[in-house]
Structure 1
Amino acid sequence: MKITKGTKIGVTSMDDTKIWSNGLYQNAYHLANILSAAGYDCDMITESKEISENKFLEKEIVLLTDDNLGDYDIIFEVVHTLRDSTVPKFKAKGGIVAGIQYGNEFMIDVMADSIYRPEKPPRVNKQDRDAVLMSPHFDFSQQAISIMYDLDVKVCPYIWSPKFLVMHEKEEELRFDPEKEMKSIAVMESNLYFVKTCHIPMLAIEHVYRENPELFEYAYIVGSKILEPSKGFIRFANLLNVKKDKKMFFEPRYRFPFLIKRGYSDVIVSHQHYNALNYLQLEAMYLGKPFVHNSHYFKDNGYYYHDFNAKDAAAQIKNAFENHKNVFEEKMEKDREKVYEYHPDNPKNIEGYAELVEWLLEKRAKENKKSKLFIQGKQKGSAKAKKPRRKLL
């Protein structure tokens, strides 16, 4: 598509010292590459001097200052928002500020935090921004966010690449091995909010254990250490025979490659609620790993169960253990085709972001024209008011 040449864009970013701590950091890197591939002049930027002294892989991170603020036409807030004092300065120079929601802002920051974490500082008010972009799996909140911030909200492409997954590991060492005995289950939800928790997977594992106790040896509930202080969670876990029989273990968060190489994740079981696109799904699909999930985006991939149906999830766990070795090549080929839909190099994603950039530029041009006409109208009205009246004879 035709783009506005010479458009300079900044993407707020983090350095590469914490690549695995938050998916937003990878998002910012991929977005900068996509915008560059589309033909725009794009920088990863920050207002932190400390961050700017590092890089994100091969990319410099530009320190945003009053001196270079006017160089940018658009700033996308991805990893962090701009300082309160920066936004009016940038907009006064004709700049466009758009927030990008790669995280589940409405369910987490608006609903959950207001109820469960009332002491947490409120999110930045985006009403002084120009627009909000959001990942497609959050489009259920599109109208709500639009009303809340009184802004136009558009859906942007979801992006993921295996680059970071295999950056420090040999891909063949991570890929599913049909010669290896399958004996473990891993649940890898963050358990930070109710949108991604281990409860349904634990119940599914319990049901499998009751019906087929010999099917697996161990189940690792990764990321559950954070729940140890919860008496409610302990009471819930103590209901399960698989836990009583010391077949289920509760672990802190680990990187996916770490778990694979240690044999802790022969079958992966996931559950999400209003958070249907996640890196874990795409990582598992890319590597040909048996992945039991409830994401409607991947109904034809992995081992799908609907919603909160724990018994259906259990049936899919059994299916994965018994049949995946026979079908993994066919499944992996199909899964990788699906994964490419979200790849930063996919022309559809590059064009999708280019269309959003051009929409923002056109939106600003229309607003400027409307503002100019309004000012001209006021000036004409003022001139007419000062014109002396003709005397009547």
Structure 2
Amino acid sequence: MCKYYYDIYVWKTLLLVVFLMNFLSVFPQTSKRYAKQAEQDTIVDFKDRWSFRTNAVDWLLTVPNVAVEFDLSNSVYNKWTLGLEGKWNWQTAHNYLPYNVLNLWEVRAEARKYWRTEYRANVGKPTLKDRLFSKQRKRPRYWRAYYLGAYAHAGGYSFKFGNEGVQGDMYGVGVSGGYSIPLYSYRQNYIDIEFGGSVGLVATKNSKFKLDRENNAYVPSGNPKGLHIVPFPVVSDLRVSFIYRFASIKDKYKRVNYVKIQAREQRKMEKKRLKDSIRTAEIIADSLERVRKAFVKDSIRQARLVADSLEQMRKAFVKDSVKRVEIIADSLEQVRKNIRKEELPVELPETPLTKTDEEVSGTAKTEEEDGSPDNTSTEDPAIGTIKKEDDL
């Protein structure tokens, strides 16, 4: 019994392992298939990137023309194209030269960017800037594909609608704009119609001519002009064109790659953040420079104040020292004078010292006792008295 249950457990385990192996082997193939399908959904076929155009206005003016346009990328998110156009109507054959002349040839290269309008919520009356430059509209026309482009062209012309005509060469650059809408669809091909125009600057060199009917020839009638720029914008093209495409305009230039838009916005934000950081750093640097200059200025002012204070203290100290020295000198001079005054010798009186009656009588007696008369003494009484006082 135990062996039976053991065999069932082994078989279930083996079946589970086989199922997991099959699932893991199929899953990458499914993922690759879906990835390939997603990649194919974002790739435009090579033939769908081409379009061929002719302008009915030029045909109406008897100027044959043809243009070709090619998408610059095979991605469904691509909006850029590059076109080349040629016109030719030159020197048609006549037995008798016509009085009016309209000859033109031109080669034009043009780059375009397509876009479509989007819905705009009713948040107020749109401004002129919104009308001219914004993609948002209150009533967007989703079937239209608008475009703006830039072109460069070169060519030659010969016009005459009066007595004199003008012929020469031209070179120019300018801008073009317009829109395309679907017109007619076949099973695998489409016809679209385009309305637009071009305006730009033209540089030309030309000369005048007139018709010599007698000789049946055009002859020059004036001095030729060198290369110069026409002093006003020139409308170089008006288009009502029919376009042959393998993919209609209603299916082209409409998908938006939000991942790239988000990445572009992220780059813009990073660039703005970096710019703001640089600006903040510059502001901080300027503030620090101002603080440093103010600190240096204050330090210089403080140093000057300290130097002035020290100079004033020095002057006061020198003044006090001089005054003290003068006082001490005066005191020493007074002391010296006092000392000199005290060291002067004692002056003796001019009159001799007188004796008292008793001293005179005593002296007389002594002399009488000694037996020496008064007139025998040669000493001066005054000097003898002084000696006695010294003895005392």
Normalised to the residue count of structure 2, the TM-score between the two structures is 0.22
Larger radius of gyration: 2
Higher strand proportion: 2
